């Protein structure tokens, strides 16, 4: 024990950096269909291997296989494909609008579309998501109008949030979408609190928390797991592991544990890992966890394994910290292409119909964009009023704010 060899600090590093060849050989990927599907009331200890494997449904040939397959009809899958295509087209247009100076900031979902789009399908009206900035699919699937999303992004006169929020920090209670916070992770424990409230009121609604891989390091993540574990809150806690947190690879937040899902094991919370680029797998796992929560068996932690193909945000350029071609070699492929191929294999879709759908979707998005821009963009056209800046701090404006509004001359 009197070992005098000097200590040294260990700082984890990604396998490759710019200039190197992308390498994901260290990413262990389960075969599609290989992971068992336990009962929703299974003892967490008995299913701890689910925190280390990856639940996958679509195999290389585009077939849906194994116990997690078979929960969605062809019509539902076709609709799901369109949701993801819509989100992708929306992203492309808004990213461009940002470059054109029509707004200050944008964040896209490229590569992660399946996660929010498939998950949302497992929910019921009244359930509440506590999303991060990378789950706009929840809104699209819920039927929130694209025009309203864009008005928020443009901070224009029709912005439902009156210009107060950064672009993409949407809020729509009606669509089960909690107001996004610019502060990472804070909403995770709030989701647990919301779920506890539903249980306190003997309601039937559940809450869904969302967090990024990097953000699991924040304190709110711990608070959420502690409270969810103690009160068996009816909540599904999602971790979207897209491999990166701005420039920081997931190993910095994950540290010595094999997976993020493993974090749940220390709390007796069932933890599942799922192929986040597999629409069918995400849906099946969501459905399992949602049923668990709804039947009062308590929380579930889900790690969605995916990859952030685009930049972190419109302010970021990933080529400074990872090989440019890294996304091409990501072993779980592209969620849109994989679902498309599956539907083609099933004989209900074709390359041609896909092209046509792409055109239709783009058309829809562009139409919405034109409509939104009629109400203004950040620096031109209709704007939310300066008065709006002073409203809504409190339900009723207190005297000091009234004085300040007067000083501002509005």
The interface with its own copies within residues 13-52 (CB under 8 A) comprises 44-45
Give the dihedral sign, CA 39/190/139/358: negative
Q: Under the criterion CB under 8 A, does residue 9 sit at the interface with its own copies?
A: yes
DSSP character at residue 235: E
Phi then psi dihedrals of residue 104, to 5 deg: -90, -20
Task: Report residue 325 as tokens.
Answer: 């071609």
Q: Under the criterion CB under 8 A, does residue 301 sit at the interface with other proteins?
A: no
Phi then psi dihedrals of residue 322, to 5 deg: -145, 155
Q: Under the criterion CB under 6 A, does residue 293 sit at the interface with ligand TPP?
A: no
22 by Cβ neighbours in 10 Å (0-12 / 13-18 / 19+) ranks as middle
Between 1 and 9, CB nearer to other proteins: 9
Q: Under the criterion CB under 8 A, does residue 6 sit at the interface with its own copies?
A: yes
Q: Under the criterion CB under 8 A, does residue 395 sit at the interface with its own copies?
A: no
Residue pair 225/267 in contact (Cβ under 8 Å)? The answer is: yes
Q: Under the criterion CB under 8 A, does residue 204 sit at the interface with its own copies?
A: yes
Between 246 and 389, CB nearer to ligand TPP: 246
Work out which of 125, 255, 256, 347 binds other proteins, going by CB under 8 A. 255
Alpha carbons 27 and 59: distance in angstroms, whole number: 17
Which residues partner with 274 through β-bridges? 55, 304
Q: Under the criterion CB under 6 A, does residue 312 sit at the interface with ligand TPP?
A: yes
- Residues numbered 266 to 305 that lie near its own copies (CB under 8 A) are 266-269, 287, 290-291, 294-296, 298
Beta-carbon contacts of residue 298 (< 8 Å; ≥ 6 apart) = 228, 232, 233, 234, 269, 292
Residue pair 86/364 in contact (Cβ under 8 Å)? The answer is: yes
Question: Whole-angstrom distance between the N-terminal and C-terminal Cα of the chain?
Answer: 73
Work out which of 214, 234, 264, 299 binds other proteins, going by CB under 8 A. 214
Residue pair 208/119 in contact (Cβ under 8 Å)? The answer is: yes
Work out which of 19, 125, 182, 256 binds its own copies, going by CB under 8 A. 256
Work out which of 214, 299, 376, 384 binds ligand TPP, going by CB under 6 A. 214
- Residues numbered 68 to 127 that lie near other proteins (CB under 8 A) are 104-105
Closest CA to 47 of 57, 55, 61, 36: 36
Q: Under the criterion CB under 6 A, does residue 87 sit at the interface with ligand TPP?
A: no
Binding mask 104-143 for its own copies (x = CB under 8 A): ------------------x-x-------------------
- Residues numbered 115 to 134 that lie near ligand TPP (CB under 6 A) are 134
Question: What is the contact surface with its own copies in residues (CB under 8 A)?
Answer: 1-12, 44-45, 122, 124, 196, 198-200, 202-204, 206, 217, 219, 221-223, 226, 228-234, 251-258, 262-269, 287, 290-291, 294-296, 298
Question: What is the contact surface with ligand TPP in residues (CB under 6 A)?
Answer: 134, 182-184, 212-215, 240, 242, 244-246, 308, 312
């Amino acid at each position: 024990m009197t070992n005098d060899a000097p200590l040294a600090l260990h700082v984890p590093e990604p396998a490759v950096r710019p200039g190197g060849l992308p390498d994901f050989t260290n990413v262990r990927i389960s075969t599609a269909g290989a992971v068992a599907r336990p009962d929703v009331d299974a003892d967490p200890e008995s299913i701890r291997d689910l925190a280390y494997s990856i639940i996958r449904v679509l195999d290389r040939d585009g077939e849906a296989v194994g116990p997690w397959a078979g929960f969605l009809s062809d019509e539902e899958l076709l609709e799901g494909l369109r949701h993801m295509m819509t989100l992708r087209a929306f992203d492309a247009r808004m990213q461009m609008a940002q470059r054109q100076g029509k707004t200050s900031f944008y964040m896209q979902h490229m590569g992660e579309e399946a996660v929010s789009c498939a998950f949302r399908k497992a929910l019921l009206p009244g359930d509440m998501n506590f999303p991060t900035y990378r789950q706009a699919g929840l809104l699209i699937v819920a039927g929130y109008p694209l025009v309203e999303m864009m008005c928020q992004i443009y901070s224009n006169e029709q912005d439902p949030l009156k210009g107060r929020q950064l672009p993409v920090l949407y809020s729509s209670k009606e669509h089960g979408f909690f107001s996004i916070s610019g502060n990472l992770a804070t909403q995770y424990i709030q989701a647990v609190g919301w779920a506890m409230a539903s249980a306190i009121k003997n309601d039937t609604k559940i809450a869904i928390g969302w967090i990024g891989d990097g953000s699991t390091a924040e304190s709110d993540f711990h608070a959420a797991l502690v409270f969810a574990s103690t009160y068996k809150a009816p909540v599904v806690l999602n971790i979207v592991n897209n491999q990166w947190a701005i420039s920081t690879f997931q190993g910095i937040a994950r540290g010595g544990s094999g997976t993020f899902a493993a974090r749940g094991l220390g709390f007796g919370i069932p933890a599942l890992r799922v192929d986040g680029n597999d629409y069918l797998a995400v849906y099946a796992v969501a459905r399992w966890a949602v049923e668990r929560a709804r039947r009062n068996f308590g929380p579930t932690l889900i790690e969605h394994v995916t990859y952030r193909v685009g930049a972190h945000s419109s302010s970021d350029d990933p080529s400074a910290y990872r090989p440019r071609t890294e996304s091409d070699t990501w072993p779980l492929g592209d969620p849109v292409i994989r679902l498309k191929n599956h539907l083609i294999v099933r004989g209900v879709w074709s390359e041609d119909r896909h092209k046509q759908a792409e055109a239709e979707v783009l058309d829809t998005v562009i139409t919405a964009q034109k409509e939104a821009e009629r109400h203004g963009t950040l620096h031109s056209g209709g704007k939310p009023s300066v008065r709006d800046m002073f409203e809504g701090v409190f339900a009723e404006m207190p005297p000091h704010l009234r004085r300040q509004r007067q000083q501002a001359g509005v």
